[in-house]
Structure 1
Amino acid sequence: MALKHLSPLLVAALLAGGCATSPAPTTSAADVGETRPGSGYLKGYLASAEMPDSLALLPPPPEANSAALAADVAAFRSLTALQGSPRGALAVRDANLRFPEAASTFSCALGVRISEQQTPHLNMLLRRTLADAGGATYKAKEKYQRTRPFVALKAASCTPKEEAHLAKDGSYPSGHSALGWAWALVLTELAPERADALLQRGRSFAQSRGICGVHWRSDIEAGRLIGAATVGRLHANPVFTAQMSAAKNEIAQARSRSDSAPPAADCAAEANAIAGSAALTP
């Protein structure tokens, strides 16, 4: 339809809409705000009502004396045996969701240093999706209030200082697994040529919760599903998609600089540690 056949007001409206730009994403933590004052965790992109319904998406956790629970216990035994090893040390690192430390989790898999200074949009993308994917697990967590494996089996975890808090927090599904898998999927979109390494790192990040003894196998698998569902919801959010675009540009720019890659020795050690548990489930 030719524009000359439309009213001047409608033409103006169409032209204005065509020239509209995506919301400008911020890299300022102060602008975004925290989930709770003083928590250090930033608000996500999604409102609570926009998050996936984990209670609707997931089945109940395994019942007592079931084959599924027996598989959970077997996985607990094999995974927690790695505590104290290099893979166990990586699991301890993966437990820390505080930034700036957590920003480096996927740096080796991406092949680019991730930091507030060098990649501010990418750093903000990880900080905000953490809240979205982690928060999306809580409807099911609060319903089932599943006891964590280190409590149920009277074992030690790899993060003893967190045990008192974790013992009061439902185990199913795993929030760490949800956000780690969400990070892996988001980064795979930004750098598809690194997809295998990024997805492997997302899997190992979730698996670290089993090594630490704080989540059952079924918690981890359910968490990854919620992480994927969250990323699907995020693509309807214009601030998220705008931040994705900015982060993609940052990655391209970083790859053009000689100082942008993480230390090779650190990445080799990480790869060797991950290889040590690659055959284990989940």
Structure 2
Amino acid sequence: MKIQSLTAAIAAALVASACTLAPRIVAPVSPAEVGELRAGTGVLKGYLAPAELPDSLALLPPPPAEGSPALTADIDTFRSLTKLQNTPRGAMAVTDANLRFPEAAAVFSCALGIQISEQATPNLNMLLRRTLTDSALATYKAKDKYVRTRPFVMLNSGSCTPKEEAALAKDGSYPSGHSAIGWSWALMLTELTPDRADVLLQRGRAFSQSRAICGVHWQSDIEAGRLVGAATVARLHANPVFNAQMAAARAEIAKARTAGGAPTAACSAEAATIAASSSSAP
């Protein structure tokens, strides 16, 4: 047998073997197939098993101590950013507080330049829903250890989401779950559409800063949450179902972008609001 023929035969055998050993993974897009983390909540199970989640307690230092310069900085930032509550940026912060779907799917639609929804982009929508769970759960080792008091409780002030205050007061402030979620979403979307990296990361940063504007998180909570979000995305890349869903979402985004669509007035207003408030953010 000629060398070329032998090489071709080996290559063909390897390809056939790979197809046999590694069948194509099709990630589910149906919420019913994925299942809820807790029945009746609408929160879907994540991609990661509990033992696979990043260890936020090992990753993060303790929150700023009483009387420390870091806590003083947190208090100063709180007083500065909560002044934005009765502005368009404050209205955005209220919108960002809502993690329920389908509303939450639209948070990055303007930054991405396409509509995100279960109907228009089912794989992308599922990525957001399931990674919300992974990123949020990854914060709880540190949350449960430190049980840090939230700023609106410590400083006896209101928040931009008064209906949530009773529940939030019982939930540790450090690190911020919203920040972990928003930053993980921004990183994933940047990987899927690197040419829109700047605007996506700006939106992710604004999403996390919304928690300080609302008065429900300290700035150090937010920064710690971003770290946990980044760690979660890094860990997710070892999950085959996540990777399959990323590939499918990338194809959805490419198709939607090819179809095109003019920027809406709401998207122009969002960009202007973020730009106007960026000088106020630490």
- TM-score scaled by length of structure 2: 0.93
After superposition, give the CA deviation of every residue in 1:19-74 in whole Å (9 maximum; x if it has no partner). Answer: 52342101100000111000111111001100000000000000000000000001
> Identity over the aligned pairs, expressed in percent?
68
Q: Indicate the residue corresponding to 1:66 in structure 2.
A: 68
After superposition, give the CA deviation of every residue in 1:232-267 in whole Å (9 maximum; x if it has no partner). Answer: 0000000000000000000110012245x6x52001
* 1:144 is the counterpart of 2:123: no
Amino acid corresponding to residue 28 of structure 2 in structure 1: T
- Using the TM superposition, give the Cα deviation of residue 268 of structure 1 relative to its aligned residue in structure 2, in angstroms: 1.0
Q: Indicate the residue corresponding to 1:77 in structure 2.
A: 79
After superposition, give the CA deviation of every residue in 1:123-145 in whole Å (9 maximum; x if it has no partner). Answer: 00000000011110000000000
Which of residues 79, 88, 91 in structure 1 aligns to 2:93?
Answer: 91
C-alpha separation in 2, matches of 1:106 and 1:14: 39
- Using the TM superposition, give the Cα deviation of residue 105 of structure 1 relative to its aligned residue in structure 2, in angstroms: 0.2
Q: Indicate the residue corresponding to 2:241 in structure 1.
A: 239
Q: Is 1:22–1:239's contact at 8 Å kept on the other side of the alignment?
A: no
- Using the TM superposition, give the Cα deviation of residue 274 of structure 1 relative to its aligned residue in structure 2, in angstroms: 1.1
Which 5+ residue runs of structure 2 have no aligned equivalent? 7-11
Q: 1:70 to 1:237 in 2, by over 3 A?
A: same
- Using the TM superposition, give the Cα deviation of residue 18 of structure 1 relative to its aligned residue in structure 2, in angstroms: 4.5
Aligned Cα root-mean-square deviation (Å): 2.0
Q: Indicate the residue corresponding to 1:8 in structure 2.
A: none
Amino acid corresponding to residue 280 of structure 1 in structure 2: S
Q: Indicate the residue corresponding to 2:271 in structure 1.
A: 271
Secondary structure, counterpart of 2:210 in structure 1:
helix
* 1:133 is the counterpart of 2:132: no
Q: Is 1:76–1:211's contact at 8 Å kept on the other side of the alignment?
A: yes
Which of residues 180, 201, 204 in structure 2 aligns to 1:202?
Answer: 204
After superposition, give the CA deviation of every residue in 1:50-105 in whole Å (9 maximum; x if it has no partner). Answer: 00000000000000000000000010001100001000000000000000000000
Secondary structure, counterpart of 2:280 in structure 1:
coil
Q: Indicate the residue corresponding to 1:179 in structure 2.
A: 181
* 1:124 is the counterpart of 2:139: no
C-alpha separation in 1, matches of 2:24 and 2:237: 13
- Using the TM superposition, give the Cα deviation of residue 3 of structure 1 relative to its aligned residue in structure 2, in angstroms: 11
* 1:17 is the counterpart of 2:6: no
Q: Indicate the residue corresponding to 1:7 in structure 2.
A: none
Which 5+ residue runs of structure 1 have no aligned equivalent? 5-10
- Using the TM superposition, give the Cα deviation of residue 112 of structure 1 relative to its aligned residue in structure 2, in angstroms: 0.7
Secondary structure, counterpart of 2:84 in structure 1:
coil
Secondary structure, counterpart of 2:100 in structure 1:
coil
Amino acid corresponding to residue 100 of structure 1 in structure 2: P
Q: Is 1:217–1:281's contact at 8 Å kept on the other side of the alignment?
A: no
C-alpha separation in 2, matches of 1:99 and 1:74: 34
- Using the TM superposition, give the Cα deviation of residue 16 of structure 1 relative to its aligned residue in structure 2, in angstroms: 2.6
C-alpha separation in 2, matches of 1:201 and 1:39: 26
Secondary structure, counterpart of 2:278 in structure 1:
coil
Secondary structure, counterpart of 1:276 in structure 2:
helix
- TM-score scaled by length of structure 1: 0.93
After the TM superposition, which segments of 4 or more aligned residues of structure 1 sit over 2 Å from their partners?
A: 1-4, 11-22
Greater percentage in helix: 2
After superposition, give the CA deviation of every residue in 1:107-154 in whole Å (9 maximum; x if it has no partner). Answer: 111001101111110000000000011110000000000000000000
C-alpha separation in 2, matches of 1:171 and 1:3: 65
- Using the TM superposition, give the Cα deviation of residue 2 of structure 1 relative to its aligned residue in structure 2, in angstroms: 11
After superposition, give the CA deviation of every residue in 1:132-187 in whole Å (9 maximum; x if it has no partner). Answer: 11110000000000000000000000000000000000000000000100000000
- Using the TM superposition, give the Cα deviation of residue 281 of structure 1 relative to its aligned residue in structure 2, in angstroms: 3.4
